[in-house]
Amino acid sequence: MFELLKEQPADKILMLMQAFREDPREQKIDLGVGVYKDAEGRTPIMRAIKTAEKQLWETETTKSYTGLAGDVGFADAMFGLLMGDAVPRNCVAAAATPGGTGAVRQGFDMIRMADREARVFVSDPSWPNHITMLKHLEMHMQPYRYFDSETRAVDFAGMMEDLADARVGDVVLLHGCCHNPTGANLNLSQWQEVIDLLVKNGVTPMIDIAYQGFGDGLDEDAAGLRMVVSQMPEVLVAASCSKNFGVYRERTGLLMAVAQDPVRQKANQGMLNHLNRQNFSFPPDHGARLVTMVLDDPALRADWEEEVREIREGVLGLREQLAAELQRLTGSDRFGFIAQHRGMFSRLGATPEQVEAMRQSHGVYMVGDSRINVAGLNAKTVPVLAEAMVAAGV
């Protein structure tokens, strides 16, 4: 029977990881998949996570199942990190999921169960997996303009014009911070304008937040999300701990459904539990438990916040270095956007041919839409990328 199956296209980001591994050149530079790397090119286990892991090994007495929604302590800790005091805890249903991808998938499932005809408005461009998951679920997807390819900033007028078509029963998917793949983000007054429009038209927002702390700060990066949850009657939030806790392979994420009152919250919690049960039963616990230990212990938390700050400032420094190097090589300010963007990614605005030329000539690997993972650079490779860009005529 399996001969009936159609071959599926490989994921572009994961294909790039493979191509990089197979390239024998020593000087190759990996700016592909969204994984943080330090100056030596390593993806370290964060200090506080390593300490928590030692403590857990000493103290954990069972590997029996947790609850269907995972450990409540994880949901409480993540609620605080994401939402602060923007909304009462008893209005928020939450379930741990296998990574942020699992949270997005469960969120889409929940929307589909509520209304098979719901349209999900997705930024153009967005993380490719948003689009393929919606296709996989046979849901209606509606792209909205997001990126101005001239200025490399948000095309806010285009975005608002396209979102004005969303109606009751539609969902608008927003990136909480550090937009993937562009690096261009809404400012707070733009967040407010989006909220006003969605409130006016009765549209439900869903926020995917996977890089909290990598943009301007832990609270700063959650500011837009907090405005949304404090002003809108229902919101879905899909959060990832992969990057900001560095627990990629532990698959640690959380889906939250914010409601207006505890009665609706209870019903939403039942739905999240049900979705977990149907898709994988109990969510992975190890990463979630480490995250909880870090967030709940003042000393571990302080150390983690400090390490997130080091990562953020390192990435910002690389952005500034790259923008300055391009300014020096070209005598033009047109690459200033690289220092303005936030988070791990920037979309350079190169053509697929230019992306390919940079790979061939300088061994620089970036996603075909010219998304770079800035954290894949270091002080030595920034000039190589700048040179490759200029040589390719970007």
Contact residue for ligand LMR among 15, 28, 33, 280 (CB under 6 A): 33
Taking the complex as a whole, how short is the minimal distance between the CB of residue 128 and ligand LMR, in angstroms? 7
CA–CA separation, 36 vs 244, rounded Å? 9
Residues 113-142 that bind ligand LMR (CB under 6 A): 127, 129
Please report how close the Cβ of residue 34 comes to ligand LMR at its closest, in angstroms. Answer: 3
The minimum distance between CB 127 and ligand LMR, in angstroms, equals 5
Nearer to ligand LMR, 180 or 204 (CB): 180
* Residue with smaller CB distance to ligand LMR, 70 or 125: 125
Distance of CA 236 to the CA centre of its chain: 14
Q: Does 245 bind ligand LMR (CB under 6 A)?
A: no
The half-sphere exposure of 182 on its side-chain side, counting CA atoms within 13 A, is: 24
- By beta-carbon proximity to ligand LMR, the closer residue of 132 and 327 is 132
Whole-number Å distance between alpha carbons of 60 and 51 = 14
Position 339: which residue type? A
The catalytic residues are 127, 208, 210, 243
3-class DSSP state of 316: helix
User: Binding-site residue total for ligand LMR (CB under 6 A)?
Assistant: 6
Cβ closer to ligand LMR: 45 or 195?
A: 45
Nearer to ligand LMR, 180 or 182 (CB): 180
Nearer to ligand LMR, 203 or 348 (CB): 348
Q: How far apart are CA 117 and CA 134, in angstroms?
A: 12
CB 209, min distance to ligand LMR, A: 12
Q: Tokens 């301007």 sit at which residue? A: 216
CB of 371 to ligand LMR, least distance (A): 8
As to burial, measured by CB atoms within 10 angstroms (0-12 exposed, 13-18 middle, 19+ buried), residue 132 is middle
200, 216, 238, 278, 286 from 106: Cα distances, Å: 27, 28, 9, 10, 20
Instruction: State which residue, 128 or 217, has the beta carbon closest to ligand LMR.
Output: 128
Residue 140 is given by DSSP the state E
Asked if 247 and 53 touch (Cβ cutoff 8 Å), the reply is no
Half-sphere CA count of 54, side-chain side, radius 13 A: 7
CB of 211 to ligand LMR, least distance (A): 9
Among 13, 166, 257, 311, contact with ligand LMR (rule: CB under 6 A): 13
- Whether the CB-CB separation of 170 and 200 falls below 8 Å is answered with no
Query: Shortest distance, CB of residue 298 to ligand LMR, whole angstroms?
Result: 30
Nearest partner of 308 among 79, 48, 96, 100, judged by Cα: 48
CB 141 within 8 A of CB 120: yes
**Cβ closest to ligand LMR, residue 180 vs residue 244:** 180
- Position with the least CB separation from ligand LMR: 34
Distance CA 262, CA 344 (A): 37
The closest of 18, 37, 23 to 377, measured between CA atoms, is: 37
Our finding on whether 329 is near ligand LMR (CB under 6 A) is no
Interface with ligand LMR includes 34 (CB under 6 A)?
yes
3-state helix, strand, coil in the chain (%, to 5): 50, 15, 35
Of residues 145 through 184, those in contact with ligand LMR by CB under 6 A are 180
- From the CB of 215, what's the least distance to ligand LMR, in Å? 15
Q: What is each CA distance from 200 to 122, 163, 259, 261, 389, in whole angstroms?
A: 19, 12, 18, 20, 44
* Contact positions vs ligand LMR (CB under 6 A): 13, 33-34, 127, 129, 180
